[in-house]
Amino acid sequence: MTAALLIALAAIAHTTWNLALKRAGASGPAFIALTLAVGVVVFAPFGVPALIAQPLDLGQAGVLVVGSALLQVAYFLVLQRAYRLADVGVVYPLARGTGPLLSVVGAVLLLGERPGLVTLAGAALVVAGVVVIGTAGARASEGAAGDSARRWRGIRYGAAVGVIIAAYTLWDAAAVTRANLEPVGYYWASMVVQLAVLLPLAARERGALAQTAREHPVAIAIVGILSPLAYVAVLAAYQLAPVSVVAPAREVSVVLIALAGWLLLREPHPARRILGSVIVLAGIALLALG
């Protein structure tokens, strides 16, 4: 029950910051660096005491934190490049579909989990529903105009993003379950490293940080607070339920974003969004039964 509440909290927070980001139209290293700076400051009163209170193997913890940070930065950079070079309508569904699918496979092969047939069927339905929703995400002008080479580029980048999602999912799940690192302290330290990596990239473009801060202060604050909150809730859920359940179940946020995109932002293909949402929710119901 607690794991379900944490997943629900993560989904609501994830949906809210994604909508704020979409409305603002902001992107790039400067924006992400500023949101990380907000997250580091806001969560410091929780993250620092958590780190101090927990006895740590500094070598092991340091490797896990740096690895987590590098995977998160890689996710951001590859996703941004994918959206520049390929169609969102190809990249997004592939990334959001292959990510949880590979996470379930990795949980079985690497973490020793043994999900039952009902759980596996639920995960498969979630992945299928996410792909249905994702193919409705782009406006008609985006998907139809790309040539064959651009489509294959989107497939390659979408799969690459999915692999990174699975990698940081399994890495972070192992950190908070096998290494027993406290979620708030662990992710706060990861954000510090992420910020240290991204700041030099953001500073290469003169004035980008100041301009982004002036143009998008509300979006920076919302993303900076709710994005870490959502992910810490997911990390806490990993400590209470198997990764093979949590990883696909957290994709309920895709349903909320899809429905909000249709109802609030007037995005196209409502029938496909509703169909995909029903499939995802059916999958999550099976996960709950499993």
pLDDT at 137: 55
Digit-coded pLDDT (tens) for 99-141: 889 999 999 999 999 999 999 999 999 888 888 887 765 544 4
> What angle (nearest 5°) sits at the alpha carbon of residue 31, between those of residues 43 and 216?
95
pLDDT of residue 289: 80
Q: What is the reported pLDDT for 18?
A: 82
Tokens of 214: 């002036």
The reported pLDDT for the residue numbered 96 is 79
Give the DSSP per-residue string, 169-187: HHHHHHHHHTS---HHHHH
For residue 138, which of 180, 66, 89 has the smallest C-alpha distance? 89
Q: What is the pLDDT of residues 37-75, one digit of tens each?
A: 999 999 999 999 999 998 888 899 999 999 999 999 999
pTM: 0.87
Rounded Cα–Cα distance for residues 259 and 241 (Å): 27
Residue 18 to residue 143: CA distance in whole angstroms: 21
Q: At residue 51, what are phi and psi to the nearest 5 degrees?
A: -70, -40
- Would you state the pLDDT for residue 143? 44
User: Which residue has tokens 């139209």?
Assistant: 25
**Tell me, what DSSP letter sits at residue 239?**
T
Q: Is 123 within 8 Å of 288 (Cβ atoms)? A: no
CB 34 within 8 A of CB 224: yes
Cβ 223 vs Cβ 17: under 8 Å:
yes
Distance set, CA 87 to CA 31, 145, 282 (Å): 22, 9, 28
Low-confidence ranges of the chain (pLDDT < 70): 88-89, 136-147, 265
Tokens of 277: 């949402």
**pLDDT the model gives residue 155:** 83
